[in-house]
Amino acid sequence: MTPVALPTAAGRRARWKLALAWLAAIITFVFLCSLGVWQLERRVWKLDLIERVEQRVRAAPVAAPGHEDAALFSTADEYRHVRVSGRFLHQHETLVRAVTEYGTGYWLMTPLRTDSGLIVLINRGFVPPDKRDAASRPAGQVEGNVVIAGLMRLPEGNAGFLRHNDPVADRWYARDVNAIGAARGLVEVAPYFIDADGTPNPGGWPIGGLTVVHFSNNHLIYALTWFALALMLAVGLLFAVAAEHGLRAPHARTNLPRET
């Protein structure tokens, strides 16, 4: 009888390393597949979000939240089509840097004191650099009671890593209603602002109705990428199994007992 060779310490370590490598590969495969499934779930959520926002935008305007309801404003209300009435406080208008289809210029943020006393910042629209001075667009400084229709928007934070609002220097890059209200000494400011619709303003300036409602939806591409990586890993594992089987088969044949 041929004695059976016991595995050496080096052989045992090699087997452990191989087992750990297989375990890591299987865990990675499962993780990649779970990422793909997660992206598919995100795609369903994003499509539902886009549909809900489009319904808000297309809906008939409703009254904007007043004193009692303003505190309840949430992300579920963003892009809701609303209307509000009151008087503009033109002396407190604020210019916020903007890039639009008309070029680089400013959003004209003007406080509106509503009939209830609440102040709502209205993004009346775009003005180019040569129209930043109110004196250059006197017809647009509407007096008296007005009714504004547009889309409710969430306050913006800083516009970028290197672009921060500077209230002291009156340089604004983001539509932060709290910071603008504080800089202008306004009280009872609504926690949202309204992008005015495209109703022409007297004199042609500012130009409203430039809100871009766009949500990136690349989740299907991301899902296919994760599934493709999982498939590549699975194919690699199959090749590894085939190669290992091919190496073991000749060795097994050489150890077969000979007939006497």
Q: Which residue has the higher pLDDT, 42 or 50?
A: 42
**7 lies in some domain:** no
Contact 196, 124 (CB under 8 A): yes
Dist CA 79 CA 56 (whole Å): 6
**56 lies in some domain:** no
Q: How confident is the model at residue 23 (pLDDT cuts 50, 70, 90)?
A: confident
For residues 170 and 74, state if they share a domain. yes
Q: Give, as one character, the DSSP assignment of residue 173.
A: S
Rounded alpha-carbon distances, angstroms, from residue 217 to 35, 156, 211: 16, 22, 19
> What does the block give as tokens for 226?
């994760």
Residue 82: how many other CB atoms lie within 10 Å? 21
Share of the chain above pLDDT 90, in %: 53
What pLDDT, in 10s, does the model give residues 1-14?
555 555 677 667 77
For residues 104 and 224, state if they share a domain. no
For residues 81 and 119, state if they share a domain. yes
For residues 142 and 227, state if they share a domain. no
Q: What is the pLDDT of residue 32?
A: 92
For residues 29 and 129, state if they share a domain. no
For residues 196 and 233, state if they share a domain. no
For residues 115 and 197, state if they share a domain. yes
Q: What is the pLDDT of residue 247?
A: 58
> What does the block give as tokens for 260?
């006497």
**33 lies in some domain:** yes
What pLDDT, in 10s, does the model give residues 58-94?
888 888 887 666 556 667 778 899 999 999 999 999 9
**213 lies in some domain:** no
What pLDDT, in 10s, does the model give residues 134-190?
999 999 999 999 999 999 998 887 655 667 899 999 999 999 999 999 999 999 999
Q: What is the pLDDT of residue 250?
A: 55
Report the DSSP beta bridge partners of residue 171: 166
Q: What is the pLDDT of residue 45?
A: 82
**Domain boundaries, position 104:** 61-204
Dist CA 180 CA 165 (whole Å): 9
Contact 206, 124 (CB under 8 A): yes
**55 lies in some domain:** no
- Residue 141, domain CATH: 2.40.50
Q: Based on the structure, what is the number of domains in the chain?
A: 2
Dist CA 107 CA 115 (whole Å): 24
**212 lies in some domain:** no
**181 lies in some domain:** yes
**73 lies in some domain:** yes
> Does residue 219 carry a pLDDT above 80?
yes
> Does residue 112 carry a pLDDT above 60?
yes
Q: b or e along 243-260 (b: 16 or more beta carbons within 10 Å of the residue's beta carbon)?
A: eeeeeeeeeeeeeeeeee
For residues 142 and 191, state if they share a domain. yes
For residues 134 and 90, state if they share a domain. yes
For residues 66 and 125, state if they share a domain. yes
For residues 29 and 109, state if they share a domain. no
For residues 67 and 90, state if they share a domain. yes
Share of the chain above pLDDT 70, in %: 84
Dist CA 243 CA 75 (whole Å): 55
